[in-house]
Amino acid sequence: MAQRLHLVFGGELVDPSRSAFKNVDDIHIVGMFPDYESAYAAWKAEAQRTVDDAHMRYYIAHIHRLRDEELEASSTEELG
């Protein structure tokens, strides 16, 4: 069974109506999670912790969607 990894991260936005971070060096990496449910719980905790700051946003990235294990790997992935 394939893992369904999720990354939870967030930080201060330039403008609350956009998704551009003010400083990418200050992005808070909450963590990597093995399923959506645990990622959602972590996201919710961080979102609630920063609810009073309109410029703070947290996101869940579906890492498992970034690659298809059935496709042949590129030559750079085969190095090592």
What's the CA gap between 56 and 47, in Å, rounded? 8
At 65 the pLDDT is 80
What's the CA gap between 18 and 20, in Å, rounded? 6
At 79 the pLDDT is 46
Provide the whole-model pTM. Answer: 0.78
At 73 the pLDDT is 54
What's the CA gap between 44 and 73, in Å, rounded? 35
Mean pLDDT of successive 10-residue segments in the chain (80 residues)?
85 93 96 95 96 94 77 51
What's the CA gap between 51 and 53, in Å, rounded? 6
What's the CA gap between 45 and 77, in Å, rounded? 35
Domains of the chain in sequence order? 6-65 (3.30.70.2400)
